[in-house]
Structure formats: C-alpha cells, structure tokens
C-alpha cells in the first residue's frame, strides 16, 4: 500500500510542487493548510509521515509538532522558509525527523521522505510483550498466533475472524487509543467508508464475549470522538 503523507502547508504554490513530487513517486498525499485542520485530520486518519510548514496562518508549526508528539511518533519532516538555526534545532529537539529549507528541490524532498520512511519502517511500534517475552506482570490476555486464538482470564474466546483481528490489534499496543480508521486499516485490508460502522459493531460483540467471562473488568475503553483502547491488567 502506498505510504500516506499529510502535508501541512499554507502556500498553495509550494503545496502543489510538493504534492506533485510525492504523488509522482507513488505516495498518497493529503494536503491541509491550517494547524487545526491538520489536527482534525490526524485524529481520524493514520499517516506514515507528516510534512510540516513552520509558519502557518493559525499557529506555529513547532507548537503543532509539540502537541503531536504527546501522542504520536509518526515521522515528521519540517519544511520551512526560515532557515534559522534555532528553528532547525528546536524542530529536531521537539522530535522532527528531518528539516528542509525553502527553496528546495522537489526531487531532494522526495528523496528525504523516502529515506525517513525507510529508516522508520525498520522500527515499527514496539508490540506488547504478550506471548513472546515473559511479561513483567500477568496480563488478562494471551494471544495464540498459531491458532489465531486469544485467551481472556484463561478462557479461550470464541471469536470471529474480525473480532480476533480487532482485539489482536488493540492488544499489540495496550492503552493506546486507536481511531476507527486505524483499526479498519489493520483489520479490513480493503476498507470502504461504509464499513466504518462495523468497527463499532464488532467492538460491541467483543465486549459481550469478554463480559461473559468476567463482567467486572470491561477492558475495552471507548474514547469519545477518538476511538478505542484496551487495558491488559489493573491500573497500578
Ligand atoms: Ca507558511
């Protein structure tokens, strides 16, 4: 699947050049001009990389990056007209992966994007230590990949294929909030918009099955307007 890039840039002439350079390389580009639009976008859709202009009409790109880094490790390439040393240092300190100053060559930008994606692809988010390394403390769930089965409180769950994939995805990063779109990406290989609701439906049936085993735990949490997460043990 083509890598998805969120471009946050308020100057149309620059955005067009970037968009053209990246789509010619096979990337899928979503372009937003405002910080608040970018935030709305990444709350619902998962991206492989962000290209961030520092001077945005409704705020500083550095502030936006700071807010993003509170909950996401998505690679970020800063694109800035300001070739100030301070911006570069601050950007990298705040967690940007690279920095390109305007004017730039579209070809160089595409090459930098590819390099970042290559670098970060080898370091996927660290999965939870379930079933592989000995867990630090007992968790409520055990995944049996070979049998495509999940045990909850030592009871084998009777799951449909989609319920299994949904729960497995949530368990890969306990406590992390997954948006519906992110869950769809993982569970439905070829998602269409109308399927969105079926995430909720499957979460509902999953919850019912977990409740049958233990009605007190309710490990799947709904985050209103954001998505779902799962707990794997009692909060300490
Ligand atoms: Ca700008």
CB-CB contact of 142 with 150 (8 Å): yes
Q: Ligand 1 centroid to 55 CA: how many Å? A: 4
Looking at residue 235, its pLDDT comes to: 66
Q: Ligand 1 centroid to 85 CA: how many Å? A: 17
Query: Which CATH architecture best describes the domain 4-121?
Result: 3-Layer(aba) Sandwich (3.40)
Q: Ligand 1 centroid to 182 CA: how many Å? A: 29
What digits encode the pLDDT tens for the residues 4-62? 999 999 999 999 999 999 999 999 999 999 999 999 888 888 899 999 999 899 988 99
Q: Ligand 1 centroid to 44 CA: how many Å? A: 24
Secondary structure E strands in 107-226: 141-144, 149-152, 155-156, 220-223
Q: Ligand 1 centroid to 22 CA: how many Å? A: 19
State the pLDDT confidence band at 197, using cuts at 50, 70 and 90.
low
Looking at residue 138, its pLDDT comes to: 64
CB-CB contact of 96 with 76 (8 Å): yes
Q: Ligand 1 centroid to 59 CA: how many Å? A: 10
Supply the pTM of this predicted model.
0.53
The domain defined by 141-230 folds into Arc Repressor Mutant, subunit A (1.10.10)
CB-CB contact of 129 with 143 (8 Å): no
10 Å CB burial of residue 131 (0-12, 13-18, 19+) is: middle
Q: Ligand 1 centroid to 79 CA: how many Å? A: 9
Residues found in the chain: 236
Q: Does the bond joining 155 to the residue before it have cis omega, within 30 degrees of 0? A: no
pLDDT of residue 191 exceeding 80: no
Looking at residue 187, its pLDDT comes to: 82
Q: Which of 204, 200, 166, 171 is nearest to 185 (CA)?
A: 166
Token pair recorded at residue 213:
């085993």
Q: Ligand 1 centroid to 92 CA: how many Å? A: 18
The answer to which of 10-19, 28-37, 84-93, 126-135 has the lowest mean pLDDT is 126-135
Contacts with 184 (C-beta within 8 Å, 6 or more apart), sequence order: 191, 195, 196, 199
Q: Which of 68, 73, 28 is nearest to 52 (CA)?
A: 68
Q: Ligand 1 centroid to 62 CA: how many Å? A: 12
For the chain, the domains span: 4-121, 141-230
């Amino acid at each position: 699947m083509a890598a998805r890039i969120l471009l946050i840039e308020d100057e149309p002439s620059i955005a067009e050049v970037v968009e053209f350079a990246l789509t010619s390389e096979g990337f899928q580009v979503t372009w937003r001009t405002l910080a608040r639009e970018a935030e709305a976008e990444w709350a619902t859709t998962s991206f492989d990389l962000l290209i961030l202009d520092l001077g945005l009409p409704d705020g500083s790109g550095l502030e936006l990056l700071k807010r993003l880094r509170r909950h996401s490790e998505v690679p970020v390439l800063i694109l800035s007209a300001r070739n100030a040393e301070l911006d570069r240092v601050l950007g990298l300190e705040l967690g940007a992966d690279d920095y390109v100053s305007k004017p730039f060559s579209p070809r160089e930008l595409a090459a930098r994007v590819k390099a970042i994606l290559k670098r970060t692809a080898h370091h996927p988010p660290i999965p939870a230590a379930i079933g592989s390394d000995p867990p630090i403390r007992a968790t409520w769930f055990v995944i049996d990949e070979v049998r495509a089965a999940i045990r909850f409180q030592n009871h084998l769950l009777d799951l449909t294929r989609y319920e299994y994939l949904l729960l497995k995805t949530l368990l890969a990063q306990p406590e992390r909030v997954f948006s519906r779109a992110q869950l769809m990406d993982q569970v439905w290989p070829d998602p269409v918009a109308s399927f969105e609701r079926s995430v909720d439906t499957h979460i509902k049936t999953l919850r019912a099955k977990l409740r049958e085993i233990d009605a007190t735990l309710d490990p799947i949490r709904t985050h209103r307007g954001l998505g779902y997460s799962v707990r794997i043990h009692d909060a300490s």
